[in-house]
């Protein structure tokens, strides 16, 4: 049972894996043993413990999960930084075009990065095809929407974009670990993603970046990091790099990398396919029940690993749920998100959660003043 | 005794703090307790354990070490990424000028970043003043040279640069924690630095970035990270940010941040001033002795926390020294570097090291084949 591999908060149902996945039982040992290596061998651990190869080793593991070749993915930096790099590179390959096309319901973090790079054109999610033309440089999309959990069809969109010479950059942050993805089969150009959500890599675990091999030769990273140099310890004056290592920047955060390495042990393609299938069942049950209570709920046909519903006292509602032992999260202005990852959420948990939601509504618990005090992180 | 705060590799003399400082005894507990928070509270720890404020809290601690105001420094990302951000911002404030002036013996990692941003003009370290003029946008310098350990005069250089409207970006990676720095007193514009060398933050611990308050209002980061947004959890469509938080990018690597937090506990300005004074004494002894053995050694008048000497079998020489218990490092093509940080190096250690160097030379131990097998990280 994979659930036995996790440490779950006592007396709590952890429905927040779409934000920060729970710890694996092996995480602590992996990090502590790295701290031991650091204490015992100091700088020698870079060779002795293979720290120098971690970005590539973890990249290869992620590649196997998303249908990429082992040398098309590396693990480094944050999703924000990797998206910056991927967008800059994709834009640089599109001489004469300067529009980044994206959906207006895309994750704001992704929009901020795009806004800092070039002209951004916002469209509705259901109007992607009709807005793709030769003026567009890059189509930047999120595979699973952070609000409504809807899943876009990567393969069909990529093929359509390529007809017009448009390059695609996908954010897989809410997909990786729960929704099957095949980057090769879907002819994806570039992708990035987070590892602390469904992959349970730990708080601030490093992100990944994917570049299709066809771009490796001609792409040039905007951030020429020494550790991505062909010979990082030759200290040559000129910068040369190859392949996806062009996206390496500075020294990787080894402790955070090691927590992720431990978490990745439990994942393979089969685990993800199975999780996705059960998550869909759970979502159906949850959505049906919420609707029957008159709650406004997002119910797109293709869904990721969470279910979101709306309530005008959204923040206070989420606090009341958390207080009752159901760890969920809130997204401004009115959304409550519940993760249904079957790796650690059971059908019984879903049923209890529904009962609790009903209870909160019946007694209007969201009106309690203590639930209306906004915390820093929501 | 501060030496009791460190864990030092058994039977070894750790003369490599200029590359990766040794672990503090408290590091492991700090990280393990964070892993415990993660396991027990999951996503709730962002509020409960104050993770969301770590970049600013650690920034304020570093600010106090380098004579900056508490809100002029944040801790995030790597030195490479922070240098990229600082250079891009400084260049954007210098309309019409496009030259980054730097020394040809600057750390190659810094040169790579600059090369990726604009036109770079390389000059000799002793010809800085005569190359500063109105054509230069930014003067990018390293305070302590990674090879010869020479220290530049920040105050005089900054003042001279400002006469010509040139902005300065300093890399303090080899200074912070060992060489006193005062950013306010020296009128520094921007600075970045590493925390895993003399500050002992652990492998890949996050770097810091400093921006003088006078630029906070008008600067705009090239990487608009969501976590630097004025209201990161409002999920507004437009990006707004203020102050040094403009340099925040993605979710910080919490485990690595916590290791650094533990290490910073032992540092204050007084510790650094005292360390520097003893390090200079140790350097004098080491340099005098190496010279007396006919070894070619860098001996600039103002030195940082390491001493470097040359040998035509440099790499093999460093391996022979390490094998004998003196952990040092090698920099291509012929340099051996020895850290003399008095926080954990004693006068007796220095004397033993000299004896060992003499022994290696007398027996030409650097000719042994096993020492000539190059490892990945040097």
Using one digit for the tens of pLDDT, what is the confidence trace for B240-285?
999 999 999 999 999 999 999 999 999 999 999 999 999 999 999 9
Report the distance separating Cα A314 and Cα A331, nearest Å: 8
Could you tell me if A45 and A37 are in contact, meaning their C-beta atoms sit under 8 angstroms apart?
yes
For residue A338, pLDDT beyond 90: yes
Is the CB of A249 less than 8 angstroms away from the CB of B78? yes
Tell me what pLDDT residue A130 has. Answer: 97
With CA atoms as reference, the chain B residue closest to A329 would be B43
Q: What is the structure's pLDDT at B349? A: 97
Q: How far is B237 from chain A (nearest CA, A)?
A: 6
Task: Measure Cα distances from A54 to A256, A260, B188, B267, B295 in Å.
Answer: 11, 10, 36, 30, 38
Check residue B376 and give its pLDDT: 82
Helix (H, G, I), strand (E, B) or coil at A167: strand
Q: Which of B35, B148, B331 to mutate to test the interface with A (most CBs of A within 10 A)?
A: B35
Query: Greater confidence, B36 or B375?
Result: B36
Q: Please report the pLDDT score of residue B233 as a whole number.
A: 87
Minimal Cβ distance to A9: which of B41, B116, B237:
B41
Task: Report the chain B residue with the minimal C-alpha distance to residue A23.
Answer: B39
Report, as an integer, the average pLDDT of B180-197. 98
Dmax (CA) for chain A in angstroms is 69
Q: Quick one: A126 exposed, middle or buried, by C-beta within 10 A (0-12, 13-18, 19+)?
A: exposed
Q: What are the b/e assignments for A197-215, b being 16+ CB within 10 Å? A: bbbbbbbbbbbbbbbbeeb
DSSP at A51: G
Distance CA A129, CA A150 (A): 17
- Angle formed by the axes of helices B254-264 and B54-65, to 10°? 30
Select from A210, A213, A204 the least CA-distant residue to A192. Answer: A210
Average pLDDT value over all residues in chain B: 96
**pLDDT band, residue A29 (cuts 50/70/90):** very high
- CB contact set of B87 (below 8 Å; sequence gap of 6+): B100, B113, B114, B117, B118, B138, B140, B169
Around Cβ B297, how many Cβ atoms within 10 Å?
Answer: 18
Could you give the CA distance from residue A182 to residue A68 in angstroms, rounded to a whole number?
A: 7
Sign of CA dihedral A102, A105, A110, A115: positive
CB contact under 8 A, A35 and B51: no
Query: Is A337 labeled as catalytic in the residue annotation?
Result: yes
Taking only the tens place, the pLDDT of each residue in B193-227 is 999 999 999 999 999 999 999 999 999 989 999 99
Is A196 designated active site?
A: yes
Q: Any idea which residues of B carry the catalytic annotation?
A: 107, 171, 196-197, 337
Q: How far is CA B138 from CA B87, B90, B158, in A?
A: 8, 7, 11
Q: What is the C-alpha to C-alpha distance for residues B259 and A101, in angstroms, rounded to an integer? A: 40
Q: Please report which confidence band the pLDDT of residue A374 belongs to, taking 50, 70 and 90 as the band edges.
A: confident
Give the dihedral sign, CA B213/B214/B220/B222: negative
Give the C-alpha separation, B257 to B58, whole Å. Answer: 8
Identify the residue whose tokens are 């290869």.
A60
In angstroms, the CA B219 to CA B88 distance is 10
User: Which segments of chain B belong to CATH 3.40.640.10?
Assistant: 25-265
DSSP at B205: -
- Average pLDDT value for residue range B16-31: 97
Q: Active-site residue A371, yes or no?
A: no
The answer to whether the CB of A300 falls within 8 A of the CB of A349 is: no
CB contact under 8 A, B254 and A44: no
The minimal CB distance from A255 to the residues B42, B202, B327 is found for B202
Q: A238 φ, ψ to 5°?
A: -95, 150
| Phi-psi category of residue B341: left, alpha or beta, with phi > 0 → left and psi -120 to 50 → alpha | beta
CB-based burial label for A32 (10 Å; 0-12, 13-18, 19+): middle
The partner residue sitting opposite B234, judged by closest CB among A35, A77, A332, is A332
Interface test with A, best of B109, B114, B236, B329 (most A CBs within 10 A): B109
Among residues A61, A88, A246, A337, the one annotated as catalytic is: A337
Q: What is the mean pLDDT of chain A?
A: 96
Per-residue b or e along B171-187, where b marks 16 or more CB atoms closer than 10 Å to that residue's CB: bbbbbbbbbebebeebb
pLDDT over threshold 90, residue B237:
no
Q: Is the pLDDT of residue A167 over 90?
A: yes
Nearest CA in chain A to B240: A112
Note whether A80 and B249 are within 8 A (CB): yes
Handedness of CA B75, B331, B23, B282 (dihedral sign): negative
Catalytic residue among A6, A14, A190, A196: A196
Cis peptide before B333 (omega within 30 of 0): yes
The string of DSSP letters for A78-128 reads -HHHHHHHHHHHHHHTSTT--EEEEETTS-HHHHHHHHTTSEEEEE-GGGH
Q: What is the DSSP string of B221-264?
A: -SS--GGGSSSTTT--SS----GGGGG--S---HHHHHHHHHHH
- The topology (CATH level 3) of A3-23+268-371 is 3.90.1150
**CB-CB under 8 Å, A40 with B254:** no
Which of B23, B81, B322 is nearest residue A38 as measured by Cβ atoms?
B23
The per-residue pLDDT for B374 is: 87
Closest by CA to B64, choosing from B267, B254, B341, is: B267
| Mean pLDDT in residue range B98-104 | 97
Q: Which residues of A touch B84 (CB under 8 A)?
A: 223, 249
Reply yes or no on whether A97 is catalytic.
Answer: no
- Residue A96 pLDDT exceeds 90: no
% residues pLDDT > 70 (chain B): 100
The answer to whether the Cβ–Cβ distance between A78 and B225 falls below 8 Å is yes
pLDDT of residue A378: 82
Instruction: Give the gap in angstroms from C-alpha A156 to the nearest C-alpha of chain B.
Output: 27
What is the reported pLDDT for B45? Answer: 94
Half-sphere exposure of A345 (CA within 13 A, CB side): 34
Any idea which fold A25-265 has? 3.40.640
pLDDT higher than 90, residue A234: no
Query: By CA distance, what is B35's nearest residue in A?
Result: A28
Say yes or no to pLDDT of B88 above 90: yes
For residue A376, pLDDT over 90 is answered with no
Q: What is the mean pLDDT of residues B354-361?
A: 96
- Please give the radius of gyration of chain A, using alpha carbons only, rounded to the nearest integer: 21
User: Could you tell me if B308 and B148 are in contact, meaning their C-beta atoms sit under 8 angstroms apart?
Assistant: yes
Chain A interface mutation, best of B223, B234, B252, highest count of A Cβ atoms under 10 Å: B223
Nearest residue of A to residue B222 by CA position? Answer: A116
Q: What is the ipTM of this complex?
A: 0.96
Number of Cβ within 10 Å of residue A370's Cβ equals 9
**Across A73-80, average pLDDT:** 98
Percent of chain A with pLDDT strictly greater than 90: 93
Residue A310 above 90 pLDDT? Answer: yes
The answer to whether B80 contacts A7, with C-beta atoms less than 8 Å apart, is: no
State residue B220's pLDDT score. Answer: 92
Could you give the percent of chain A with pLDDT greater than 70?
100
What residues of B are in contact with residue A43 (Cβ under 8 Å)?
Answer: 16, 19-20, 327, 329
Provide the b/e sequence for B251-263 (b: ≥16 CB within 10 Å).
bbbbbbbbbbbbb
Q: CA of A286: how far to CAs of A289, A290, B116, B295, in Å? A: 5, 6, 51, 75
Q: Render A220-287 in DSSP notation, one character per residue.
A: --SS--GGGSSSTTT--SS----GGGGG--S---HHHHHHHHHHHTT--HHHHHHHHHHHHHHHHHHH
Among A225, A233, A231, residue whose Cα is nearest residue B207: A225
Where in chain A do CATH 3.90.1150.10 domains reside?
3-23+268-371
On chain A, the residues whose CB falls within 8 A of the CB of B53 are 376
């Amino acid at each position: 049972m994979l659930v036995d591999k996790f440490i779950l908060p006592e007396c709590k149902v952890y429905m927040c894996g779409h934000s920060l996945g729970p710890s694996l039982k092996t995480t602590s040992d992996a990090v502590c043993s790295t701290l031991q290596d650091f204490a015992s061998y100091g700088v020698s651990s870079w060779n002795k413990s293979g720290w120098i190869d971690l970005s590539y080793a973890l990249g290869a593991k992620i590649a196997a999960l998303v249908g990429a070749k082992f040398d098309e993915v590396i693990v480094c930096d944050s999703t924000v930084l990797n998206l910056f790099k991927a967008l800059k590179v994709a834009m640089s390959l599109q001489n004469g075009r300067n529009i980044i096309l994206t959906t207006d319901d895309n994750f704001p973090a992704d929009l901020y990065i795009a806004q800092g790079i070039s002209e951004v054109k916002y469209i509705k999610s259901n109007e992607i095809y009709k807005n793709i033309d030769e003026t567009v440089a890059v189509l930047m999309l999120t595979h699973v929407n952070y609000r409504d959990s809807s899943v876009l069809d990567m393969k069909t969109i990529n093929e359509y974009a390529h007809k017009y010479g448009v390059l695609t950059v996908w954010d897989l942050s809410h997909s990786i670990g729960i929704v099957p993805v095949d980057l090769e089969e879907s002819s994806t150009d570039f992708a990035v993603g987070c590892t602390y959500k469904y992959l349970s890599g730990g708080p601030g675990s490093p992100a990944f970046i994917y570049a299709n091999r066809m771009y490796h030769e001609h792409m040039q990273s905007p951030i020429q990091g020494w550790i991505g140099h062909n010979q990082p310890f030759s200290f040559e004056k000129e910068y040369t790099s190859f392949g996806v290592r062009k996206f390496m920047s500075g020294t990787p955060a080894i402790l955070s990398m090691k927590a992720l390495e431990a978490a990745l042990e439990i994942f393979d393609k089969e685990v993800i396919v199975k999780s996705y299938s059960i998550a869909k069942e759970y979502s159906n049950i949850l959505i049906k029940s919420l609707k029957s209570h008159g709650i406004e709920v997002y119910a797109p046909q293709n869904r990721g690993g969470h279910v979101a519903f709306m309530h005008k006292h959204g923040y206070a509602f989420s606090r009341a749920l958390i207080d009752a032992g159901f760890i969920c999260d809130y997204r401004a202005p009115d959304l409550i998100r519940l993760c249904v990852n079957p790796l650690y959420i059971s059908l019984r948990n879903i049923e209890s959660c529904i009962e609790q939601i009903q209870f909160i509504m019946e007694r209007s618990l969201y009106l309690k003043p203590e639930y209306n005090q906004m915390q820093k992180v929501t």
